[in-house]
């Protein structure tokens, strides 16, 4: 009886781990190559085809990006926005074929 209970608990844990990883099932590279997300001109990722998992991914990536931008900005005594804009230029220039990016008019384009 005690044994079967612990097995049940373990199974429950396993299922919850599976479910939690399922939320992050889509990776950034997958999202980029399917043009679900794209590079904006402000240095952050934008959502093109919204879904729960995409929104979670973009939120996570953008907050990490912001931390890095802030670190670089403080180190060099310039604004975070300026660093972000420079990053956008680089990211858009380095984007692979099939990846989406925002042009200067703010429209989505596929490279």
Q: In the complex, which residues of this chain contact other proteins (CB under 8 A)? A: 28-29, 61, 64-65, 68, 72, 75-78, 83, 86-87, 90-91, 94
* Nearer of residues 59 and 64 to other proteins, judged by Cβ: 64
* Nearer of residues 80 and 109 to other proteins, judged by Cβ: 80
> Any idea which residue has 């900005």 for tokens?
73
* Smallest separation (angstroms) from other proteins to the CB of 71: 9
Please give, one letter per residue, the 3-state secondary structure of 10-41.
HHHHHHHHHHHHHHCCCCHHHHHHCCCEEECC
> CA 35 to CA 48: how far, in whole Å?
7
* Smallest separation (angstroms) from other proteins to the CB of 7: 36
To 5 degrees, how large is the angle CA 103–CA 54–CA 12?
170
* Nearer of residues 62 and 109 to other proteins, judged by Cβ: 62
CA distances from 92 to 1, 89, 108 (A): 60, 5, 12
* Smallest separation (angstroms) from other proteins to the CB of 66: 10
* Nearer of residues 8 and 89 to other proteins, judged by Cβ: 89
* Smallest separation (angstroms) from other proteins to the CB of 64: 6
């Amino acid at each position: 009886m005690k044994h079967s209970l612990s097995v049940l608990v373990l199974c429950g844990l396993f299922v919850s781990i599976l479910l939690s990883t399922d939320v992050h099932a889509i990776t950034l590279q997958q999202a980029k190559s399917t043009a679900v997300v794209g590079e904006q001109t402000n240095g952050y990722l934008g959502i093109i085809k919204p879904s729960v998992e995409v929104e979670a991914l973009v939120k996570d990536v953008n907050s990490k990006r912001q931390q890095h931008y802030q670190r670089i900005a403080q180190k060099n005594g310039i604004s975070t926005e300026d660093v972000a804009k420079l990053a956008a230029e680089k990211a858009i220039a380095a984007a692979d074929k099939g990846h989406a990016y925002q042009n200067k008019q703010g429209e989505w384009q596929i490279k």
